């Protein structure tokens, strides 16, 4: 149990493991011109981490700001623990927030930054110091309490911002692209750290990101947003394996887009019959094949598919744990294949491919 947990009031709404429910009901924010929120509905379970994922301008930040009370809502309501907070100001909603840009006060030390919210709440000095120290310990920065922002790395500054958001024991944590200013390695470290702390505290959390890998890695459920509404919400694997639309299939994970035909509940792609994952009406469809579901086979006609495909290697890239190879099939279709690094086909080499025995259609949609 962390130090911060031990200090949480027993029986309080923010006690560890209890978490809060959060509900957005048909939330509309009309900026004119169609942007904003278009009747967004979303429920978070206690202690759940929901990632809001989507392309730039889809309304992720607006949704978070509406939740925080920083953005006026034109219609709909927002409930925390069943209480309607739609008309409550931000400081009455009991939230912790971390933003993309480091928002530490430059003239205060890390410790003083973390204490700030408690000072505003007139918490006694001794208590304040203890709680700030506990929060800094939680994020692994207890030895840096006396440093100023300019003496901390970007990752450390975001840790302090996280400690500052958590020290007031908020009911809900809102994170708006908290990692996007950090370099790749620190990003992954801090992402894992946020997840550990969030799970440990059992705090209901919304995490805005446009990075699909980050969303899949960190969230209990991912809400893919499009034009101010949710296109699909689900567990990471469900989104990856069963996207409900072409938009989700193309936004979440790398994918090959190829033509297929559905007839009598069966899908045929490249002349092979493959399992149909999503129900689809008969007719031509767009099929999404994940690169890891395309396999190299030794010779033409072998492999798990009914017949194998042939093509020529265009490029192949070593990515450390795996290799990604682009192949041009004999019919001109280009496919990305993800495979073990042991098999390293040469550029220009003729190779044979098959589709994996497991379902390979991660989504079907009417062809454009």
Q: Tell me the C-alpha distance between 48 and 207, whole Å.
A: 11
36 touching ligand ATP, by CB under 6 A: yes
Residues with Cβ within 8 Å of 170's Cβ and at least 6 positions away in sequence, in order, are: 14, 94, 95, 96, 203
Give the contact letters, 82-121, x = binds to ligand ATP (CB under 6 A), - = no: ----------------------------------------
62 touching ligand ATP, by CB under 6 A: yes
Segment interacting with ligand ATP, rule: CB under 6 A, options 53-61, 133-141, 167-175, 326-334: 53-61
Segment interacting with ligand ATP, rule: CB under 6 A, options 55-63, 105-113, 164-172, 360-368: 55-63
35 touching ligand ATP, by CB under 6 A: yes
Please, what is the minimum distance in Å from the beta carbon of residue 368 to ligand ATP?
24
Of 33 and 279, nearer to ligand ATP (C-beta) is: 33
244 touching ligand ATP, by CB under 6 A: no
Give the contact letters, 205-234, x = binds to ligand ATP (CB under 6 A), - = no: -----x------------------------
Q: Tell me the C-alpha distance between 294 and 327, whole Å.
A: 11
Of 227 and 356, nearer to ligand ATP (C-beta) is: 227
Please, what is the minimum distance in Å from the beta carbon of residue 35 to ligand ATP?
3
Please, what is the minimum distance in Å from the beta carbon of residue 228 to ligand ATP?
7
Of 74 and 146, nearer to ligand ATP (C-beta) is: 74
Cβ–Cβ under 8 Å, residues 101 and 143: no
Q: Which of 19, 59, 117, 234 binds ligand ATP (CB under 6 A)?
A: 59
Q: Which of 4, 40, 51, 58 binds ligand ATP (CB under 6 A)?
A: 58
Of 59 and 311, nearer to ligand ATP (C-beta) is: 59
Q: Which of 14, 20, 21, 61 binds ligand ATP (CB under 6 A)?
A: 61
Residues with Cβ within 8 Å of 171's Cβ and at least 6 positions away in sequence, in order, are: 13, 14, 20, 80, 81, 93, 94, 95, 203, 204
Of 52 and 336, nearer to ligand ATP (C-beta) is: 52
- According to the 3-state scheme, what is the secondary structure of the chain? CCHHHHCCCCCCCCCCCCCCCEEEEEEEEECCCCCEEEEEEEEECCCCEEEEECCCCCCHHHHHHHHHCCCCCCEEEEEECCEECCCCCHHHCCEEEECCCCCCCCCCEHHHHHHHHHHHCCCCHHHHHHHHHHHHHHCCCHHHCCCEHHHCCHHHHHHHHHHHHHCCCCCEEEEECCCCCCCHHHHHHHHHHHHHHHHHHCCEEEEEECCHHHHHHHCCEEEEEECCEEEEEECHHHHHHCCCCHHHHHHCCCCEEEEEEEECCEEEECCEEECCCCCCCCEEEEEEECHHHEEEECCCCCCCCCCCEEEEEEEEEECCCCEEEEEEECCCCEEEEEECCCCCCCCCCEEEEEECCCCCCCCEEECC
Of 169 and 210, nearer to ligand ATP (C-beta) is: 210
Please, what is the minimum distance in Å from the beta carbon of residue 59 to ligand ATP?
4
Please, what is the minimum distance in Å from the beta carbon of residue 248 to ligand ATP?
15
178 touching ligand ATP, by CB under 6 A: no
Of 58 and 98, nearer to ligand ATP (C-beta) is: 58
Q: Which of 56, 265, 317, 319 binds ligand ATP (CB under 6 A)?
A: 56
Query: Residue count at the site for ligand ATP (CB under 6 A)?
Result: 12
69 touching ligand ATP, by CB under 6 A: no
Positions that interact with ligand ATP (CB under 6 A): 31, 35-36, 54, 56-62, 210
């Amino acid at each position: 149990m962390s130090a911060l947990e031990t200090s949480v009031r027993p029986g309080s709404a923010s006690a560890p493991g209890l978490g809060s429910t959060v509900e957005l009901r048909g939330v509309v924010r009309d900026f004119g011109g169609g942007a904003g929120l278009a009747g967004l509905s979303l429920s978070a379970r206690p202690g759940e981490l929901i990632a809001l994922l989507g392309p730039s301008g889809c309304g992720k930040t607006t949704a978070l700001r509406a939740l925080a009370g920083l953005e006026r809502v034109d219609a709909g309501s927002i409930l925390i623990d069943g209480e309607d907070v739609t008309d409550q100001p931000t400081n009455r909603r009991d939230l912790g927030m971390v933003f993309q840009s480091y928002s530490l006060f430059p003239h205060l030390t890390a410790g003083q930054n973390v204490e700030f919210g408690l000072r505003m709440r007139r918490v006694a000095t001794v208590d304040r110091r203890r709680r700030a120290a506990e929060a800094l310990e939680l994020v692994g920065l207890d030895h840096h309490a006396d440093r100023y922002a300019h003496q901390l790395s970007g990752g450390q500054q975001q840790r302090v911002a996280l400690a500052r958001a958590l020290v007031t024991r908020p009911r809900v944590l809102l994170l708006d692209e908290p990692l996007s200013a950090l370099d790749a390695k620190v990003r992954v470290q801090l992402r894992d750290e946020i997840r550990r702390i969030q799970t440990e505290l059992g705090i209901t959390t919304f995490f805005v990101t446009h990075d699909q890998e980050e969303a899949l890695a960190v969230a209990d459920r991912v809400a893919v947003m499009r034009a101010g509404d949710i296109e699909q919400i689900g567990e990471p694997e469900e989104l990856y394996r069963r996207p409900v639309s072409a938009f989700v299939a193309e936004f979440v994970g790398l994918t090959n887009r190829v033509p297929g035909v559905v007839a009598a509940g069966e899908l045929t792609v490249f002349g092979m019959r493959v399992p149909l994952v999503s129900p689809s009406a008969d007719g031509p469809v767009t099929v999404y094949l994940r690169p890891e579901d395309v396999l190299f086979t030794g010779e033409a006609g072998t492999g798990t598919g009914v017949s194998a495909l042939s093509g020529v290697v265009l490029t192949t890239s070593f990515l450390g744990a795996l290799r990604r190879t682009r192949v041009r099939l004999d019919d001109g279709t280009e496919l990305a294949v993800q495979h073990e690094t042991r098999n390293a086909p040469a550029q220009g080499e003729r190779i044979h491919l098959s589709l994996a025995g497991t379902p390979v259609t991660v989504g079907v949609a009417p062809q454009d």
